[in-house]
Every structure is written in C-alpha cells, then in structure tokens.
Chains A and B, each alone.
Chain A
C-alpha cells in the first residue's frame, strides 16, 4: 500500500515487518526518529520485541551480540559518533559471524561537530566486516532492510549489515513509499534460524581467542563469506524483484550508462540529483550517465569494471575523504579500473551537509571533461 512517510518512519515500519525479537539502541541525531518509532510500536504492542534502552551505542551493539548469540533476530540503528563508539564492537560482531542488521543514518564525523550528512561514518567502518548497502531514496531504504536480513541470515553468509541512508536528506524527508504487508514480508523473510546459539542443553564456547596458528584462517573465512555475499545479494535481490516488483538484483545500477562517454559514480541520495542533472545534460547533447553503487561492501569491483569498460572518463562523487589520501569510493574505483585507459577523477563533496545541486553535478562533469579532478569540490575560497 502506498503511504507518505518520513524516511525514518518508513525504515521503522520495515524493521517492524522484519520481526526483530530484540531491539537495542541509543538515541543520536539524525537516527532518533527511527528508534522513537520502534519504541512506540513496542509500547503499543505493534512490535513484539524486547526493546533495551541502553546507556551508550557501545552497549547497544554489545547487547545485540548477546541477543543474537542467544538465538534472537536483532536490530540497532545509529550514526556518526555513535557508530565510532561502536568501532570495536563492529569488528567483533562480524568476526563472530552474527547476522545483526543496523541502520546508519549517515552523518559527518566530529570535529568540528556536525549533525549533517555525509558518509564518512559508515565508510570509515569499511574494513570491519559488515555488508554495507546504500539507499538512494526512502523506498530503497525500506526495501534494503528486508534484503539485508535475508542475506545476512543465510547460513552460507552469516555476516552483519549496515543499511545506510543519508541523514536528514532521507531520514527526515517525507516521500511516498510502497509498504509491503506482514504476510508478504513473512513470505520473503523466514523466521530467524540461528546457525548456532548459546544453549544450556548443547553447550558451545563462542568468542574464543586464536593464536597465530589459527587467526588468519578465521579472517580468510570471513573474507570468503563477504565475497559469497555478492552472489547472495544478487540472488535474494532477484527474489525480492519477483515478489515485490522492485529490482535489487544488482550490486550496482546504471542510469543512461549504456552509451555514456562520461560516467558519474555515486552512492546514496545524491544519485537522485545526479539523475535529474543527467536528464538535463543529455538534452544538451552531453553523453553522461550514472553508475550507482548500492553495495559498497562487498565491493563490486568486477561488476563496476565491466559496467564502465566503454566510457572515456569517470567522475566519482565522494561524500567522504580518507584524509591524507583520496575519497574512499574513488580509491576503490581506481583499483577496479587499474590497467584501463579510462581517465578517473575523484571529487570530495557534500561534507557536513553542504548542498549538492544539479548545477554542481554539471560543473563536476565539465571538470572531468577538462581533465581536472582529485580535488575537494565546492569549497568557499573566502574562508581558506
């Protein structure tokens, strides 16, 4: 059924439909509306879950580790500083192979303090072993939660996932969404079936330490599971399309990309602006297209290399910066395209909520055409 909902509420509804048994979260802007909505659902008996009001994000994810290991489907949500406080717990959850799903309402990192959007927070956790999915709009944010649980809980995967959507730009914006029914979601997402669990009748030790004789193999198995997740996302994305009609079968998506000479690469809500800018530039005869990355971890390097093989120039729109190097997406794309003759330029933009408009997309396209890139775009020169 079509409804007009704030992004956070669309996500909360999606989470409710996924029937988590334990929700553990700590409030932080701009994630708050999600966890408030879930708390209301529990208070009104619309969500049959234990809701743990923890004293920090660190405990939020730690409690999810306990709950998941004891055999419950678990959920949390955070952003920015909260995610940074979870840093250690994120690595631990992935290493323990727990299928926890967590929403990230993407926000900039302090200092300076900023509550506004960029993607530095989740991207900084790129090495932690979590699947990372990025939503362009609120429908996609809603849908990706269903997909994430389906993929993560597959016994061949058993990994946690971030479902990332841009703070404020999506989380606080009303959009029409097609809300599936409980029956539809139940048909797509079976009840949680833990691979192993803490159980007095069948005692198992979890979280043992590994000497140098064993550690590397654990990491290798983790990497293999992450790479298998590519295929699982495609498979369960295809299943999603068959059931709900919306296509998430790809780790990436192209827009006007088939005949493009210049490809813009982006993740998240900026893709909507980019598509509008492309429509305008196409009318002006500029052969430009978009490659949207939905899945940043595992990174679809081969898929991206194939999708961009025909273009002359690539311009990456990075809402993050690996200080002392480049934007994280840019680095990955340069790696994926290594050995090709394609000119690849990275643009750091939109940090801390700086607006990106269609004219900016046009300007960046022009810079890339002129061979100018690997730069911060949109700086206020008068402040420097």
Chain B
C-alpha cells in the first residue's frame, strides 16, 4: 500500500509555481517508499532541486550527466546486488533526457533488464534550456526550435512512442500516468518499483512556463489532456495492454485552446485543417486503447 504520509521531496526547491514535474516527483516518492535511491539526469528537476550546497532530496540521489541516467542506474543496481542490499533504484528524468539523448543508455538498461524503474516526467520539450522541441513534443506545438510562423505550424512530428519501444524490449511493466490523477500515479509507481526487472512509467507533467498557462491550472490542463484523448493513461504487463482509463471524450480544442503553444491554431484565425489533424491523433489513441465510454 502506498504510504501517502511520506514526504521525501522537500519544499523550498526552486521550481516555478505550478510546476508539473515538482508535483509529479512529490507523488512518485510517496509511491516508491522509503527504501529507494534516485538517479536524475541533467534537466529542470536536477537544477531546481540541487543548487550546491542545498538539496530538496531526502532520499539518496545522484546526478551524473544528461544522457547516462539509465546506465548509472544499471551500475547502482549491479553494485547493490553484489553487496546484497535491498534499495530500489529509481530514475526520474525529463523527456529530453529520456526519449532523445538518453535513448542509447535507456535501451541498453532495458535490454539487460536491470531491476530498476525509469520514470520520465514528460513536459514535452527541453524546458530547462528554454522550451526547445524534443522527441516528445506533440504535433503542431510551437517551441523555441519548432516555432509556429507564417509558413510553419510548429512541431512537424508526432510524439515518439517510448512506452511501446520499451515494452518491445520485453519490459515486464510499462505504464503511463498523469499528475492530475495522483492515486493512479502513486499506485503505478508502487507497482513498478515492486516488479522485478526494468520497468517504465511516462508521466504527463504539464509545464505552465513552457506551455503557456497560469500556474494554478496545471492539474486542469493535465485533466483536459486525458479527457480529450491526447494523453492516455494505461498499463502494459509483459507487453500486453491491461488497462486504459476510459473517458467521455471532449473535442481536442478544449485542451489546445488553453495553451499558448497552440495559440497559432486559433489566432489570427482558426485553422480547421490543423485542428482536425490533432483530433485525428486523439481519435487514433481512442481506437488503439479503447478509451471511449
């Protein structure tokens, strides 16, 4: 059972007000329990929690480089095994570190099936360096390296499907979660850390600064992603889809229209063609995961 009283993420860190990643990490550490070692790659989380000599981490924590968290975790797991120790090894990193630059190390760690849990807080761009596009940036989102302009509608590519890639590695447990559904999130973390082998959770973590909404709307924006079918919470056990959260779907524009990164779809004039493309992504998600009530 998740012990919700655990508070291993100290307040007073330097995240933006309304930071989705910070909210997610607080819940992750509740789900993971006390006997845990955390590895974080370079990124927002690392920077806002550990400006020397201060730390927000009340569990053992290590940051080495941007792209090697999964390899560092592999080494920690091997070391603990050799010493007969019981701590769980948990990586918490952003989407850039996970789906882009850290993909080699991530693939290696999952192929070797180390007993680790890798959690990606997915805020869908490189937020630490100023909102540049990552492989997890959704279609048509405007970022500082995929800006919308007179001849561009923003990011040209769909999100890389890393959960499917890691399930294809033979991971015994792959899940997605959203910070807007904390009980589900904590339960999935608990399941992942207690499942032997390399397990993965990708958590939708809205970023008020990067996406362009008020900091008090983080949970609401996260909920809209689920309710429109643009984010699906599901679990895969041994590569087989077990459970996906069902919703009575809303049109995608309810999610898109509250974020500045999609403003170009509505101003100066509404772009029906592009909104329809994004609706088609949600429709495909709904069909794939069977989420429609």
Give chain A's interface residues, CB within 8 Å of chain B: 21-22, 24, 49-50, 52-56, 58-59, 62-72, 74, 88-89, 92, 96, 198-200, 202-211, 214
Q: Which residue of B47, B52, B78 is within 8 Å of A67 (Cβ)? A: B78
When the two chains form their complex, are residues A62 and B68 in contact, meaning their CB atoms are under 8 A apart?
yes
When the two chains form their complex, are residues B74 and A66 in contact, meaning their CB atoms are under 8 A apart?
yes
Q: Which residue of B72, B79, B87, B108 is within 8 Å of A200 (Cβ)? A: B87
10 other A-B residue contacts (CB within 8 Å) besides A66-B39, A66-B78, A70-B76: A22-B79, A67-B75, A71-B79, A72-B82, A89-B64, A198-B60, A203-B57, A203-B61, A206-B62, A208-B63
B128 to chain A, nearest CB (A): 11
Q: Which residue of B50, B67, B73 is within 8 Å of A209 (Cβ)? A: B50
Residue of A nearest to B35 (CB): A200
Please report the C-alpha to C-alpha distance between residue A7 and residue B118 in the assembled complex, in whole angstroms.
40
Q: Which residue of A52, A58, A206, A211 is within 8 Å of B78 (Cβ)? A: A52
When the two chains form their complex, are residues A21 and B51 in contact, meaning their CB atoms are under 8 A apart?
no
Q: Which residue of B39, B64, B74, B78 is within 8 Å of A92 (Cβ)? A: B64
Q: List 16 A-B contacts (CB under 8 A).
A: A54-B74, A58-B104, A59-B70, A62-B64, A63-B74, A66-B39, A66-B71, A66-B77, A67-B75, A69-B76, A74-B79, A92-B65, A198-B62, A198-B76, A200-B34, A200-B37
Centre residue among B71, B83, B107 by max chain A CB count within 10 A: B71
Q: Which residue of A53, A62, A72, A208 is within 8 Å of B79 (Cβ)? A: A72
* Complex contacts, A199 vs chain B, CB 8 Å: 60, 87
Residue of A nearest to B46 (CB): A209
Please report the C-alpha to C-alpha distance between residue A209 and residue B66 in the assembled complex, in whole angstroms.
12
Residue of A nearest to B8 (CB): A203
B277 at the interface (CB under 8 A from A): no
B81 at the interface (CB under 8 A from A): yes
When the two chains form their complex, are residues A52 and B112 in contact, meaning their CB atoms are under 8 A apart?
yes
B105 at the interface (CB under 8 A from A): yes
* Complex contacts, B53 vs chain A, CB 8 Å: 208, 214
B72 to chain A, nearest CB (A): 4
Residue of A nearest to B61 (CB): A205
* Complex contacts, A24 vs chain B, CB 8 Å: 74-75, 78
Residue of A nearest to B50 (CB): A208
Interface string of B265-288 (1 = CB under 8 A from A): 000000000000000000000000
